[in-house]
Structure 1
């Protein structure tokens, strides 16, 4: 028997056994117990739009993940859940990185991230911090893949709106408790109370999560959520809410593994520098605290609707760079970055529905202001003489973004609809360091969308949309341009990326057995950012060219039999450079040259992803699921000489619900497929004629979990 064949056979038997078990449990249709009808996702009312409407009616590509979906998939974090949506890609290398339709650029934020409608823009890189949000406190996640005109600069890369749980029903008090335990010492416990008394509603929830991690990346998170509301009537509510998160983690993802380390130290957080150097590469540590505190107002009657929010967001992160404290005597080793950010947000929107017989018209006006105050201070604890300068690393950043949008919804008779939206944004930013260096940047951007639609039936919608939107560069891009001082990449020359998106979509809730959402799109991105080099020197990020992206996204699901349901989703994407240049390593000489990118695929984006799932309901209260997830190959480098091969993984779960209890067992990546995020953008080799010097960031392997929940 070949090495590894025995373990493969056992894992294969496990998959076959679980599939056979679920099939054997499935009775004939005539024997099935009566099951409770489930609300189909196309019937969901979405809030990630200028006015609330059913998902089937929105002329845009929106996906919804409910709390039931999150519970079934056993997602340990939001990133895990999001990558299951067609067109959403986990581009994790250092932390949580999400790209929608391949729009993300290097060392910068991706889509707009909202928590209950409040934008989260952290630090000078505008990174997202998705892992700090407890999945157990989420009611739903809405993902807008179309350009989100209503959400300002950055929404050209999509919008992710995370909506936390709220009090439901009329009971004075109700509650829940849940606990799970899984591989790598992963424990998750949560509990909460909610209810309504007279005109008051309330919710309080707390969650604690801890794990040793696949690579011994220990993490611990405690999070609380509190909501209190006063209902003037069934139509009008005033509420306050607050959530806080405290998370500590040992982070290996800043430390890429090369092939020898990957082969020999795959699951070690500490590993030798190389085969000839036994010095250990050490981990980094982060301590994070965040909180959102908001006052909300909402009103909706038959004609008039209004929503308002005043919010304060605080974020603090202390980052300990431990990588070289045991292998170096430099006074720069073990540096500590303390990052502190305060964000103030005010938003108000409202509209009125006019009815002129065969014509209905709903205009919506909205205004939002966001003010960000960010500071970073660096210290060198081993620099006892005080000779190490922090002038270029100590940062003060102030940014104010003001946006005004006007959205118009027309309905002509029972079938035709038209949405026309406009938005103007003003960004004012000041970036200072102690060198001293100061940048004052301001820009104005105008976005718009036009989307006619046709309803064949109340449950079927065909739409076409054209939109223009922008992505405003991360503050760090401006700082690099000023700091490196190249006359060919000045701060004042950086332009926001401009995107034109042409989209056609079809949504149809045909029956309980068959529901479809199909989207095709073409996107032009002008002034796309990429790394800029002069000779051998990095000169920051620059508008290096234009890109074109074609894509198709498909979602199918249904329950043709009482005991059987299915889920099929997939995305095909062709993203390529229309023009541009980049610095690469020539093969086989391994010398640096400037290369033309025309016609090259944008690196790091799989051409195809899919998810095929079956759900079995053998007896009342029982549910079993089996999923196959495929990621096709993607190119690592700008000029498409290196690629990462396709991978397929399998997930399975079994659950039983009775009365107010639920128990479950789930397994992910049950074949223990070795998965990594691979990076080598410039195609560097180990030397002339050598092998690719590719960096690998290890992703999770086989995971199994058992849990129980109780509602009262």
Structure 2
């Protein structure tokens, strides 16, 4: 990075000095407080106190989530505000490039992974915050979960019935910037929970409808034609959870979710040839951006299973994801995932062990709708009517089975070591596939037949190891050191099924192609090291960690085809993350967090800055809040710092301020918020990334996805 290392160093040094002073003061107070340990499952698959974990764990409790979403924030915004090492939110449908510690993150709902072989990056457009109870986050690569967790794990825990009593929760609210009649969003939600001593259940439905997003100048935000915005979008989240107490030691938990988020926008990009002209009304397309998902899971816990604790989970997830028109076509990708997990845990005085088996099967099917070029060209690409469908990617089936073991041993009451190993076998089955370009040409009348790129099957194994230790300095603070390995699986759909063709008569002859059996696409392994410290006195909370991670390969994409060009070149990411909060008064809390990160790849001339199209940027947050029995209000800021890579691609940083709060009424409460309090005019991080990634297709202005201007949120919620 060339532009911002120096400017951020000053703030990093200031943060370090402040943290050191805070730690010294806190140590004096530490003996006077004893805080109750928070238990999480994200770090070890079974409940474990955060203070006993040799790693960086962030716990976002219900009160934080509720205050933020009632202030008008999305799930992506909430996570970016509460996790120091998570990049700022895209402000759009996608979380592409929103990395955790500079790498890809694994997102789960109640332990069920949202990961797929075709990484579409819509994990945060997956559940409404109204249905979230808490969020557990493990920063850094982990060997516990397998593919997709090289940056860390985010586990979203849904709301459950809290008792057998019949309870209702109702929500209604709206958001607007008052720019026009098209500048209004609203949300309504309703839940019901209850049961008896044996069965408790909660069922809810949330409906959200957005209209136009307007920037600080009152101009409608350019629709995101690449990965998708959430303008003019309708979303339904129907969630049911059931807990069955089979006996005192056996429990069954069931989850069923239907999530549907679909865009229906009257605005589109008026494009003539390759030139973007402006944003106009009259857009009408057979397909737009959307995600429809059905997810089912069942987990079983037996506290006394032959002297062990047994945890078993089975899940099924089907997703149907569509795209808006791009180059007079748009895709549909359907994913089916079946997963099985089992874990056994046992304690032997100072020794604890967890071991088990995971398995899943992931199937991908895809197609591309081709639009009538005459209708599209005559309308400036505003009107799109399908004339045929072709295949987009080869059919892919990924199967995996893994065994793992994690153990910890208390050397003393204050010192614990932890270690584990995961061994995973994976296979990729690729269908025969006629090249996408050739299918399009045949559909347009150029040629009649074509050879298929041969498919095949490839398999491989990967072993992941972790070792860590945590030492309790006193009852309120710990230091830890940790080494852990993670890995990512490059997208097989974007790697295989490619070939070079020659037209011979009316037949497309395959000259050469990627041979599946001779091009084994193994996992990209990441080694991660970290050293950290945390403190919780009740009034003061501090957690900080320095980390370094290096992977043996990285993925490079072709900007023209958007397919994987090569899988090579080592990548390293290192940095420092920290968060501190302090109750200066019974009603006043102050806090700050920061993340300094450097991402590099090893090229011909040594280590070079990672492309700005994907690299994480450093960031800082700060807040001040007032809390009493009736009123809770918080002012907060978020800063993204500049970034420039070796190719002079730039990301311009920005700072935005928000206000969120709630007021307790005699019945229910009012929630309120002002987003972008100072009405900052800026292009979102995704809008800037998209210009780098896609500008070879259209003018960069076509991807200038701006941040929303000042907006106001007001809502009412009642529980009875």
- Please state which band the TM-score falls in when normalised by the shorter chain: 0.7 to 0.9
Output the CA distance in 1 between the equivalents of 2:620 and 2:593. 6
Output the CA distance in 2 between the equivalents of 1:285 and 1:389. 16
Question: 2:294 aligns to what?
Answer: 291
Structure 1: segments with no counterpart, 5+ residues: 1-38, 105-109, 253-267, 325-332, 582-595
Secondary structure of the 1:150 match is: coil
Structure 2: segments with no counterpart, 5+ residues: 1-33, 177-182, 214-220, 224-230, 375-384, 435-451, 502-509
1:628 and 1:650 in contact (8 A); partners too: yes
Question: 1:231 aligns to what?
Answer: 245
1:223 and 1:246 in contact (8 A); partners too: yes
Output the CA distance in 2 between the equivalents of 1:348 and 1:483. 45
Question: 1:17 aligns to what?
Answer: none
- Deviation of 1:193 after TM superposition, in Å, equals 1.1
Output the CA distance in 2 between the equivalents of 1:521 and 1:123. 28
Output the CA distance in 1 between the equivalents of 2:392 and 2:263. 23
1:251-330 → structure 2 map (5 Å cutoff): 269-271=268-270, 278=277, 285-300=288-303, 304-321=308-325
Output the CA distance in 1 between the equivalents of 2:49 and 2:427. 36
2:668 and 2:717 in contact (8 A); partners too: yes
Output the CA distance in 2 between the equivalents of 1:486 and 1:539. 19
- Deviation of 1:472 after TM superposition, in Å, equals 1.4
- Deviation of 1:503 after TM superposition, in Å, equals 0.3
1:197-212 → structure 2 map (5 Å cutoff): 197-212=196-211
Output the CA distance in 2 between the equivalents of 1:710 and 1:441. 55
572, 577, 580: which one aligns with 1:556: 580
Change (3 A) 1:219 1:392: closer
List per-residue Cα deviations over 1:53-108 (Å, max 9, x = no partner).
1223211112122232122122543212222211111474872325334544xxxx
Aligned length: 613
Question: 1:79 aligns to what?
Answer: 76
Output the CA distance in 2 between the equivalents of 1:126 and 1:185. 28
1:189 aligns with 2:192: no
List per-residue Cα deviations over 1:352-372 (Å, max 9, x = no partner).
0111xxxx0011012111111
Q: How does the TM-score come out when normalised to structure 2? A: 0.78
1:125 and 1:476 in contact (8 A); partners too: no
Output the CA distance in 2 between the equivalents of 1:482 and 1:64. 47
2:101 and 2:140 in contact (8 A); partners too: no
List per-residue Cα deviations over 1:672-709 (Å, max 9, x = no partner).
2123231355898999xxx9989533233322100111
1:359-508 → structure 2 map (5 Å cutoff): 360-380=350-370, 382=372, 392-393=391-392, 395-435=394-434, 436-437=452-453, 438-479=455-496, 492=519, 494-508=521-535
2:316 and 2:336 in contact (8 A); partners too: yes
2:630 and 2:664 in contact (8 A); partners too: yes
2:143 and 2:422 in contact (8 A); partners too: yes
- Deviation of 1:454 after TM superposition, in Å, equals 0.5
Secondary structure of the 1:132 match is: coil
1:245 aligns with 2:259: yes
Question: 1:21 aligns to what?
Answer: none
1:425 and 1:444 in contact (8 A); partners too: yes
Question: 1:626 aligns to what?
Answer: 635
- Deviation of 1:642 after TM superposition, in Å, equals 3.6
647, 666, 670: which one aligns with 2:677: 670
Secondary structure of the 1:81 match is: helix
List per-residue Cα deviations over 1:294-326 (Å, max 9, x = no partner).
2211134797422111111111234452x56xx
Output the CA distance in 1 between the equivalents of 2:56 and 2:584. 25
List per-residue Cα deviations over 1:183-234 (Å, max 9, x = no partner).
1311111111112312111111111111013137200011111122221344
Secondary structure of the 1:133 match is: coil
Change (3 A) 1:413 1:221: same
Output the CA distance in 2 between the equivalents of 1:647 and 1:320. 29
Change (3 A) 1:663 1:686: closer
Question: 1:69 aligns to what?
Answer: 64
Output the CA distance in 1 between the equivalents of 2:101 and 2:497. 24
Change (3 A) 1:479 1:602: same
Q: Which region of structure 1 is more displaced relative to structure 2, 489-498 or 154-163?
A: 489-498
Secondary structure of the 2:134 match is: strand
1:351 and 1:364 in contact (8 A); partners too: yes
Question: 2:603 aligns to what?
Answer: 580
1:481 and 1:540 in contact (8 A); partners too: no
Change (3 A) 1:382 1:487: closer
Output the CA distance in 2 between the equivalents of 1:79 and 1:61. 20
Change (3 A) 1:426 1:90: farther
Secondary structure of the 1:99 match is: coil
Output the CA distance in 1 between the equivalents of 2:430 and 2:577. 39
Secondary structure of the 2:493 match is: helix
Output the CA distance in 2 between the equivalents of 1:338 and 1:574. 35
1:708 aligns with 2:716: yes
Output the CA distance in 1 between the equivalents of 2:477 and 2:462. 34
- Deviation of 1:411 after TM superposition, in Å, equals 1.2
Change (3 A) 1:225 1:601: closer
Output the CA distance in 2 between the equivalents of 1:460 and 1:117. 28
Change (3 A) 1:141 1:276: closer
Change (3 A) 1:128 1:279: closer
Quote the RMSD (CA, aligned, Å): 3.4
1:102 and 1:575 in contact (8 A); partners too: no
List per-residue Cα deviations over 1:611-660 (Å, max 9, x = no partner).
1111113x53112211121111012xx41524233211101123212566
1:416 and 1:455 in contact (8 A); partners too: yes
2:77 and 2:89 in contact (8 A); partners too: no
1:551 and 1:573 in contact (8 A); partners too: yes
Q: How does the TM-score come out when normalised to structure 1? A: 0.78
- Deviation of 1:597 after TM superposition, in Å, equals 6.3
Output the CA distance in 1 between the equivalents of 2:478 and 2:511. 51
- Deviation of 1:291 after TM superposition, in Å, equals 1.1
Question: 1:168 aligns to what?
Answer: 162
Output the CA distance in 1 between the equivalents of 2:579 and 2:170. 33
2:102 and 2:597 in contact (8 A); partners too: no
Output the CA distance in 1 between the equivalents of 2:167 and 2:565. 52
1:108-119 → structure 2 map (5 Å cutoff): 110-119=104-113
